[in-house]
């Protein structure tokens, strides 16, 4: 915990709403924490204000998440948003009903009065609605402070108790004065000063680290990614480099020359990091493995083994060492809405043995309260070079999950899928082929494993987006669509054998290096959030060679993502060069958003 004085609690009722609200509050320079609805009442007492997030449930669902009613009489200001608004109404004696149709999109809000959270807002303003249920009768003590044409009680307030409810979402940018409303709540109603900054964070964190570590030293795995590097620098600032032992593991699935480059950055920063070349062990353990989950499990276990070996060597149980981790906020929290999200990523820093160590107080996670952009800001404050700070995220299992494998050479043709694809693609002027491979996707709130499809035709982003969405929305068996950059005409696609072998790893490293250098040169690197390049065991037009998929995306916290639209001429040239320089039979461009696709293919 960073500050108990001026913290706003965001109660997480599911989905991704809670994180977005928490981030918005921090943008107002007020620290925020996400807490679970079933937290103990004592837990709620330490906050200056409480925001109840939206969520996918209906308040009348049997398993709908609820709050201890005592929360409403703590005298702490409360703001309920969407589901939170409905929950307030229901629990305080109002009424919630199911609407005939789901209201979804921008609506015009007409406010009544000029007080509280609506102070200094225009009389009418656009807000973002997304709900099925609505509040049909006010609880006692409340009055309507805003309505839209479809929703009478779009906003309500009990000014005396400082409890507010909004049917719309102030946290999304479509709500024109959303930040102003949150600001009114946080600064005026909750009386926060808005003085939380990364600089204060550093000062306070350094003291906290010293107090927590006492005389102990810290062992940490340093991948070279932004998070673990920032964590390492912060630990060094607090404890001095002599008390930190960092290890960089080269798994063999890193990018070309990456470990070498990372080690040289560490050295320049005066960080004491040792290099462990474990590539033979990692690659050897994955011999013949095809299933993505199996790959992840093996890699995760190997990391844990390396950590354990080192901790044993350091004799952790003698109480002299702590394990440091660069875990960040979205992966720290496990409450209603985020449990699933963290499960989807299967992170190494939350496996069972490490959870136990956390319980035993043997783990130190200095940036566990921060979001990615805050980690970057902190890195900058701590003097890390811009290039290091702006590095794209890279998954722990590295290229191992970007090389799809197959032990078969033939895939059964799926005539039904192909028929549906032909129908939908041709309506938009494209020709499509179902690919003989599956990739991971997110549908609803869980993972799916479905076929990918390739389409050929005009490189027109709007049309491609519509076609891709049309295909994944209406064909249950397809969760991902790629566009054929090379060759432009796809006569046939076939499955080929392929494992996680050195030859394929080297090939992907080279292509990845080539493409990243190209986007750096074009000054696109910092505009794109992440740019996975994926090797797939698919041969095109009878050439018995793998194909590649380019997967640049725009995103914020990786929970959702949009495929990037890159300048066409540049893209065409890059694809042609990849075809000419490397032994591949096709270059595809992923035109799937997340959801329904994921960022990685696995
Ligand atoms: P997906 O593919 O689920 O990925 O859309 C979301 C983000 O998480 C990254 N990722 C990982 N990062 N260890 C990590 O440190 C992992 O096992 C892992 N798996 C996925 C992925 O690169 C993307 O940024």
Instruction: Tell me if residue 171 is catalytic.
Output: yes
Cα 579 to middle of ligand 1, angstroms: 28
Cα 341 to middle of ligand 1, angstroms: 11
Cα 396 to middle of ligand 1, angstroms: 8
**Residue 15 in this model has a pLDDT that exceeds 80:** no
Average pLDDT rounded to a whole number, residues 262-289 = 94
Best-predicted range by mean pLDDT among 8-17, 70-79, 167-176, 407-416?
Answer: 70-79
C-alpha closest to that of 223 among 384, 394, 386, 357: 394
CA 147-153-156 angle, 5° bins: 100
Distance of alpha carbon 150 from alpha carbon 357, whole angstroms = 52
CA 206-212-214 angle, 5° bins: 100
Residue having the nearest C-alpha atom to atom 10 of ligand 1: 395
pLDDT of residue 3: 45
Token look-up 């149709």 returns 101
pLDDT of residue 560: 79
Helix axes 568-581, 502-521, angle to 10 degrees: 150
Average pLDDT rounded to a whole number, residues 383-404 = 94
Look up residue 159 and give its two tokens: 């000014």
Distance of alpha carbon 283 from alpha carbon 505, whole angstroms = 10
Distance of alpha carbon 388 from alpha carbon 397, whole angstroms = 20
Average pLDDT rounded to a whole number, residues 129-152 = 94
Cα 400 to middle of ligand 1, angstroms: 12
Distance of alpha carbon 141 from alpha carbon 588, whole angstroms = 60
Q: Tell me the domain boundaries of the chain.
A: 7-189, 198-398, 415-590
Distance of alpha carbon 94 from alpha carbon 139, whole angstroms = 4
Average pLDDT rounded to a whole number, residues 417-422 = 97
pLDDT of residue 451: 96
C-alpha closest to that of 482 among 507, 504, 457: 457
Average pLDDT rounded to a whole number, residues 148-166 = 96
pLDDT of residue 368: 92
Percent of the chain past pLDDT 70, that is, above it, reads: 94
pLDDT digits (tens, 9 = 90+) for 355-383: 888 888 999 999 999 988 899 999 999 99
Give the range among 107-116, 229-238, 307-316, 323-332 with minimum mean pLDDT: 307-316
pLDDT of residue 103: 75
pLDDT of residue 356: 84
Distance of alpha carbon 335 from alpha carbon 11, whole angstroms = 9
The minimum-distance atom of ligand 1 relative to the CA of 397 is 17
Average pLDDT rounded to a whole number, residues 106-126 = 96
List helix spans (H) across 431-483: 461-474
Tell me whether strands 49-52 and 78-81 are parallel, antiparallel or unpaired.
Answer: parallel
pLDDT digits (tens, 9 = 90+) for 322-354: 999 999 987 776 544 444 444 444 556 666 777
Instruction: Tell me if residue 110 is catalytic.
Output: no
- CATH architecture observed for domain 198-398: 3-Layer(aba) Sandwich (3.40)
Look up residue 72 and give its two tokens: 């409403």
Spatial strand order in the sheet of 533-536: 431-443, 446-456, 478-486, 586-590, 547-550, 533-536
> Residue 445's pLDDT band (boundaries 50, 70, 90)?
low
Look up residue 116 and give its two tokens: 């509280």
C-alpha closest to that of 77 among 196, 194, 184, 197: 184
pLDDT digits (tens, 9 = 90+) for 562-588: 999 999 999 999 999 999 999 999 999
Residue having the nearest C-alpha atom to atom 21 of ligand 1: 395
pLDDT digits (tens, 9 = 90+) for 514-563: 999 999 999 999 999 999 999 999 999 999 999 999 999 998 777 778 99
Distance of alpha carbon 602 from alpha carbon 211, whole angstroms = 41
Look up residue 17 and give its two tokens: 């709403």
> Residue 293's pLDDT band (boundaries 50, 70, 90)?
confident
In angstroms, how far is CA 195 from the centroid of its own chain?
27
Percent of the chain past pLDDT 90, that is, above it, reads: 79
CATH number of 7-189: 3.40.50.880
The minimum-distance atom of ligand 1 relative to the CA of 602 is 2
The minimum-distance atom of ligand 1 relative to the CA of 299 is 17
Distance of alpha carbon 32 from alpha carbon 3, whole angstroms = 9
In angstroms, what CA-CA distances link 247 with 220, 397, 578? 6, 16, 35
Token look-up 């499509």 returns 432
Look up residue 512 and give its two tokens: 């990845």
Distance of alpha carbon 499 from alpha carbon 581, whole angstroms = 22
CA 552-553-557 angle, 5° bins: 140
Look up residue 130 and give its two tokens: 């997304």
Token look-up 């060759």 returns 487
Average pLDDT rounded to a whole number, residues 497-509 = 97
Cα 401 to middle of ligand 1, angstroms: 10
pLDDT digits (tens, 9 = 90+) for 35-84: 999 999 999 999 999 999 998 888 998 889 999 999 999 999 999 999 99
pLDDT of residue 358: 87
Residue whose CB lies within 8 A of the most ligand 1 atoms, among 446, 599, 601, 602, for a mutation test: 599
Ligand 1 pocket list (CB less than 6 A): 344-347, 393, 395-397, 530, 558, 594, 598-600
Q: Is 353 exposed, middle or buried (0-12, 13-18, 19+ CB in 10 A)?
A: exposed
pLDDT digits (tens, 9 = 90+) for 120-129: 999 999 999 9
Encode 554-584: b = buried (16+ Cβ within 10 Å), e = exposed: ebebbbebebbebeeeebeebbeebbeebeb
pLDDT of residue 19: 87
pLDDT of residue 272: 87
CA 411-417-422 angle, 5° bins: 115
pLDDT of residue 2: 46
**Residue 398 in this model has a pLDDT that exceeds 70:** yes
Encode 454-475: b = buried (16+ Cβ within 10 Å), e = exposed: bbbbebeeeebbebbeebbeeb
Distance of alpha carbon 50 from alpha carbon 33, whole angstroms = 10
The minimum-distance atom of ligand 1 relative to the CA of 555 is 24
Q: Are 7-189 and 198-398 the same fold in CATH?
A: yes
Residue having the nearest C-alpha atom to atom 9 of ligand 1: 395
Tell me whether strands 321-324 and 446-456 are parallel, antiparallel or unpaired.
Answer: unpaired
Average pLDDT rounded to a whole number, residues 220-247 = 95
Give the range among 3-12, 54-63, 246-255, 585-594 with minimum mean pLDDT: 3-12
pLDDT of residue 310: 86
Mean pLDDT of the chain: 92
Task: Supply φ then ψ for residue 412, to 5 degrees.
Answer: -70, 140
Largest distance between two CA atoms of the chain: 75
Whats the size of the chain, residue-wise? 602
């Amino acid at each position: 915990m960073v500050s108990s004085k001026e913290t706003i609690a965001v109660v997480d009722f599911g989905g991704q709403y809670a994180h977005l609200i928490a981030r918005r509050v921090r943008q107002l320079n007020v620290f925020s924490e996400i807490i679970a609805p079933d937290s103990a009442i004592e837990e709620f007492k330490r906050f200056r204000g409480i925001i109840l997030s939206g969520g996918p449930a209906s308040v009348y669902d049997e398993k709908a998440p609820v709050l201890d009613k005592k929360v409403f009489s703590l005298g702490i200001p409360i703001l309920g948003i969407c589901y939170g608004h409905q929950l307030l109404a229901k629990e305080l004696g109002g009424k919630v009903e199911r609407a005939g149709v789901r209201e979804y999109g921008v609506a015009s809000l007409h406010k009544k009065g000029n007080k509280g959270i609506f102070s200094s807002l225009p009389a009418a303003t656009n807000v973002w609605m997304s709900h099925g249920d609505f509040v049909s009768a006010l609880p006692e003590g409340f009055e309507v402070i805003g309505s839209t044409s479809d929703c009478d009680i779009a906003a309500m307030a009990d000014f005396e108790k400082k409890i507010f409810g909004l049917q719309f979402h102030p946290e999304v940018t479509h709500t024109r004065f959303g930040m102003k409303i949150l600001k009114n709540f946080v600064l005026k109603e909750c009386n926060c000063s808005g003085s939380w900054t990364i600089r204060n964070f550093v000062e306070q964190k350094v003291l906290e680290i010293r107090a927590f570590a006492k005389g102990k030293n810290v062992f940490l795995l340093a991948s070279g990614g932004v998070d673990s590097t920032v964590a390492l620098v912060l630990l060094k600032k607090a404890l001095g480099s002599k008390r930190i032992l960092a290890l960089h593991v080269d798994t063999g699935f890193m990018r070309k020359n990456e470990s070498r480059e990372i080690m040289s950055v560490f050295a320049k920063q005066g960080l004491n990091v040792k290099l462990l070349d474990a590539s033979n062990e990692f690659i050897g353990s994955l011999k013949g493995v095809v299933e993505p989950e199996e790959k992840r499990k093996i890699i995760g276990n190997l990391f844990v083994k390396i950590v354990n070996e080192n901790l044993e060597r350091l004799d952790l149980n003698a109480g002299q060492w702590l394990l440091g981790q660069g875990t960040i906020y979205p992966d720290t929290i496990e409450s209603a809405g985020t449990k699933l999200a963290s499960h989807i990523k299967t992170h190494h820093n939350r496996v069972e043995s490490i959870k136990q160590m956390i319980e035993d107080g043997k783990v130190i996670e200095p940036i566990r309260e921060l979001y990615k952009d805050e980690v970057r800001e902190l890195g900058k404050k701590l003097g890390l070079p811009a290039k290091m700070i702006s590095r794209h995220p890279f998954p722990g299992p590295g290229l191992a999950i970007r090389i799809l494998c197959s032990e078969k050479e033939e895939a059964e043709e799926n005539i039904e899928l192909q028929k549906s694809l032909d129908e939908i693609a041709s309506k938009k002027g494209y020709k499509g082929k179902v690919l003989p491979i599956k990739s991971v996707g997110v549908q609803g709130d869980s993972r799916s494993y479905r076929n990918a499809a390739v389409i050929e035709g005009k490189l027109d982003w709007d049309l491609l987006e519509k076609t891709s969405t049309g295909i994944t929305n209406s064909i249950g068996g397809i969760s991902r669509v790629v566009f054929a950059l090379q060759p432009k005409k796809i006569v046939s696609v076939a499955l080929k054998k392929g494992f996680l072998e050195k030859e394929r790893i080297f090939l992907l490293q080279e292509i990845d290096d080539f493409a990243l250098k190209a986007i750096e040169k074009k000054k696109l690197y910092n505009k794109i959030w992440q740019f996975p390049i994926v090797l797939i065991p698919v041969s095109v037009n009878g050439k018995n060679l793998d194909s590649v998929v380019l997967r640049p995306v725009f995103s914020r916290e990786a929970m959702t993502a949009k495929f990037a639209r890159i300048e066409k001429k540049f893209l065409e040239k890059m694809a042609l060069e990849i075809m000419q320089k490397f032994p591949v039979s096709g270059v595809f461009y992923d035109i799937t958003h997340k959801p329904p696709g994921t960022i990685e293919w696995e």
